Amino acid sequence: MYLMVFKQGQAALSASLTAISGMYEDNLYLSNLYEYLEQPVEAETGTLTQGALPGDGLRFEHVSFSYPGGAHVLHDISLHLTPGQSLALVGENGSGKTTLIKLLTRLYHPYTREDFIRR
């Protein structure tokens, strides 16, 4: 009888310890999340809702990019994609495909050739 109660107590204690360690782990993820959410957001500039030439498509004119403190990832890229046109982007791992897409969607700001030379 006492042994059973002791075993139950042991199981309950072990479950509590597991729960506490889980909470500690979750808290680490949460602190990352809060740190991320506290990043300052750049103020929006301009009011344009479309480009200078609507229907022209997407253009890259001598676009270069490097990550802060990193090597130059893209160098002097020019392309013109017309609406409805498909383009396959092929390259080795780390060659800059994702970076190019992030620039296209303006998640990153491109460098102009002049910025690039100045660095």
Ligand X SMILES: Nc1ncnc2c1ncn2[C@@H]1O[C@H](COP(=O)(O)OP(=O)(O)O)[C@@H](O)[C@H]1O
Q: Which residues bind ligand X (CB under 6 A)?
A: 67, 70, 73, 91, 93-99
Residues 56-115 that bind Mg ion (CB under 5 A): 97-98
> Which of ligand X, Mg ion, none has residue 110 at its interface (CB below 5 to 8 Å by kind)?
none
Report the sign of the C-alpha dihedral through residues 23, 27, 67, 89, in that order.
positive
Measured between alpha carbons, how far is 26 from 14 in angstroms, rounded to an integer?
A: 18
State which residue, 4 or 71, has the beta carbon closest to ligand X.
71
**Minimum Å distance from CB 103 to ligand X?**
10
| Backbone region of residue 96 per phi and psi (left: phi > 0; alpha: psi in -120 to 50; beta: other values) | left
User: Which residues make up the interface to Mg ion (CB under 5 A)?
Assistant: 97-98
